[in-house]
Structure 1
Amino acid sequence: MGKVVLVTGVARQLGGRFVRRIQREPGVDRVIGVDAVRPEHHLGSADFVRADIRQPTIAKVLAEHAVDTVVHMDVTGTPLGTRGSRSTIKETNVIGTMQLLGACQKAPSVQRLVVKSSTSVYGSAPRDPAVFTESTPPKSLPSGGFAKDAVEVEGYVRGFARRRPDVAVCVLRFANILGPRAESPLIDYFSLPVLPTVFGYDPRLQFVHEDDVVEVLRIASSEPRRGTLNSGTFNIAGDGVLLLSQTARRLGRPTAPVLLPAVTWVGSALRSIGMTDFSPEQIRLLTHGRVVQTTQMRETLGFRPEYTTAETFADFARSRGPGLLPPETLARTVDRLADLASAGPSEERT
């Protein structure tokens, strides 16, 4: 008998893509896709079970299908389509994870657990280290939004790992996921016609391509190759960093610098137009940025992303179409303004 893999959050595009990919993996006999709503996309030969992971019925699904591998992807910061509010998202992230882990704990067939998490667990603070490793504690724990959900989710996963030491547990902390079909609060921000920024700050950002997300999930849910270990906590990001100003140029979108005291008001205004998770944590990211080290991803997990951070953003930018200003024109204008600002008074008059 081959492996039986259960995947949560399959109504989302990323979950659906992973389901279609993992069922082609040698040794996988059956894939069970679970979500509270029926997906609009095709799941290949996978079986779909309509179930809400916030409810105890998820335990019956694990037992009935003798699941041995669980890939928990239903941890997110955005509602599905027009459905859901911030409170509903939080319940699914936190309460849903608690119920799922409780069911896994009671299921003797479960041998491997993979959890989609986020580098947002490190927070974003002015005195942060230049680069976070998996063992670096945050200077300030996230106080709200998806980042706080991710912290709570990881806490429950650590508790599960202590109670079921026989289960291989892998937590993947993804940098900001981008791609033509990806969904996230940061993508909502990049989709604005004008990007509000914090005056005087130009944060460093990292991205991971949605294709690489699917591939690393496949590796984490498979049997480890010789010399690798598919358990533990891993930062997942493309090589390199981009400044927020560089992302705006590449999108062809102008920026609107806002003084730091007014940033909270801007965040409230963005939430009022439908950006449900534009929380204070998102604002801190766009103020202080965040960069993580990916050595363990390469050396221990054995994964090397296909896309760098810059290539990931370029693919995302192409999918958005042209901005208000051609990127080349915007870049020349910004560079010219920077030259004028750095020039002395006498040099400006000549």
Structure 2
Amino acid sequence: MIYSLLRRVLFSMDAEKAHGIALSGISFLQASGLSGLMADRFVDDPVEVMGIRFPNKVGLAAGLDKNGAHIDGLAALGFGHIEIGTITPRPQPGNPKPRIFRLPEAQAIINRMGFNNAGVEALLANVRRAEFPKQGGILGINIGKNADTPMEKAAEDYLICLEKVYGEASYVTVNISSPNTKNLRELQKDEALDDLLARLKAAQQQLADRHGRYVPLALKIAPDLDDLQISTIADALKRHRMDAVIATNTTLSRAGVEKLPHGDETGGLSGAPEFRLATTVQGKLAHALAGEVPIIGVGGILKGEDARAKLAAGASLVQIYTGFIYRGPELVREAADSLRGLGKSA
């Protein structure tokens, strides 16, 4: 009820401005000991994935807290894990505003943010100030490339970020699937993907030796893939022994929103219209992986039933983003409750 009232106010504002205000409010409530006004209970439903014990199966997807400035506030809302980023080696402003568009009739969002962030050093400072990681909370850090880094040098940006965040992350996600950085999705193709994963896995082993701790690597993929591309990516994931895959990022499809206000804006579409596509791709990927690499299911989760469908299609964990914007902390609890006792460790 409280979030429903707050959403009405927030949705009357510019979407990006409302996003910042909402995050600041979440942090204020946590610092004041008032997070219970938003989230009434934590769902305890542990599962082991990537060698990590997650306290429940519902996480926050990357993109909501790009700079890790609101970790403790978000963690107080019932998530089993928090993923921050996408972060790049150097700060960058992202794409011109406006760049977030709500489609409330479809419970959807189109964004073309473009990896706007304050840079990896700023994110690390925020992580080190947060209590959640110090208390054993599961923190994923999502890494990407700067927009002005040539594609032939993209791997170097990922390697820089991996080395810098390794000591602070529970796991690291490699984002090669945002539609809002020019040519980024080219990294999902055969030789480019093979080279990137080989270099990242070699660096991971060196960092594990240096830190005395193995930090898993996940790959985040797009939903706009045909069957051959899914098979190729699955083979690469298995061949390089990636620790997990996150399926999926936002879509370029406009199915279901073509005639809605803002439905023709460029960028990635997320929310309810993406659910079927993302879940179908996830299911095909699960079949191709045959249990060798665990899947984190993302895309269009607006209710507990949607979260259950992700597990039925082969996911071990789920993440939410747009559903959280529309429904607030209630969705976190509902999804976690719906998944209680389901699935298995991976």
Shorter-normalised TM range: 0.3 to 0.5
Which TM-score applies when normalising by structure 1?
0.32
Q: Which structure has the greater CA radius of gyration?
A: 1
